[in-house]
Amino acid sequence: MRSTGDRSAWWIRRSVPALSLLFFVLLLHVGCRKVERSPQEVRTGAFSEVFGGPNLAPKYLSPNVAYDLPPGKERYFLYVPQSYTGSEPYGLIVFTYADPRARLPFGWQGVLDTRRYIFVAAENAGNDQPRARRLGLAVMGAMKTMEAYRIDPNRVYAAGFSGGARMAGLLGFYQSDIFRGTLQNSGADFYRPVPVVEATSLFDTAGHTYGLLQASDEDVRQAKAVRFVFITGSNDFRRGNISDIFHGGFEPDGFKAKLFDVPGMGHDICDRETLSRALDFLEGGS
């Protein structure tokens, strides 16, 4: 007859393999489950963010874009409407400024809330930064935001002001697999020279030729599926350049493009009314 100690040892030897198997099955089950964040864990409002994890490479790699930027060393400004819970996809506007500071444009919050858009802009992405870096920051901002939030891929737009608007336009050619439209405030470029009709200056503030980008035949072909919005005004010193590029380039070459020429607007970011009309077009309107 076994002693009490012998019976305990025997039970343990018999039970450990079964318990180990049960633990393994439970671990496998938990590991295969998709972890869903509760609404309380979703961060909304306006805040700064440093994205973690590795950089994410898009499907198409352009030689014009820096994809090797370390996410942990770059800071972004985000605005996420309070209504966001993850239960439905939101649109995404990736904005590039002409100066180093990132913020939400005045008057845009109500439109973003109503139309359900998340806004992201990289810091230190101004005109003083290399072009490939500025483009890379916009791509990384888009992909990291799409990783963290539920985004409608058909409503991801590159936007910007002045020199940042020109970066948004380049992304319409170089990264059309991500950006389905552009929203360009007071800045534009085209892949061939256009007739000079209204432009009063053919140079940018650095003394370089204004309004000409380098694009391959494939870049141009892909960009024909992108919707381009150009916004200028009667008091914008770049109005002539933008008008010539639109009427002498995008329009005759058959691009999906629209020009908003706002009376009284200067070299500035558009108001909420113009933003809403621009989004109407980007979302498929005429």
CA dist 73 and 18 (Å) reads: 48
Chain-wide mean pLDDT for the chain?
Answer: 89
Position 275 in a domain: yes
Instruction: Using the predicted structure, report yes or no on whether residue 28 has a pLDDT greater than 80.
Output: no
Position 261 in a domain: yes
Position 9 in a domain: no
In the predicted model, what is the mean pLDDT of residues 213-240?
A: 98
**Percent of all residues in the chain with a pLDDT value above 70, rounded to a whole number:** 86
Position 26 in a domain: no
Confidence of residue 41 (pLDDT cuts 50, 70, 90): low
Q: What is the CATH number of the domain that holds 101?
A: 3.40.50.1820
Which range marks the domain in which residue 221 is found? 43-282
CA dist 217 and 232 (Å) reads: 28
In the predicted model, what is the mean pLDDT of residues 175-195?
A: 98
Confidence of residue 42 (pLDDT cuts 50, 70, 90): confident
Nearest CA to 126 out of 151, 103, 102 is that of 102
Position 144 in a domain: yes
Position 125 in a domain: yes
pLDDT of residue 235: 98
Instruction: Using the predicted structure, report yes or no on whether residue 104 has a pLDDT greater than 70.
Output: yes
Q: How many domains does the chain have?
A: 1
**Chain center to CA of 135:** 10
Position 16 in a domain: no
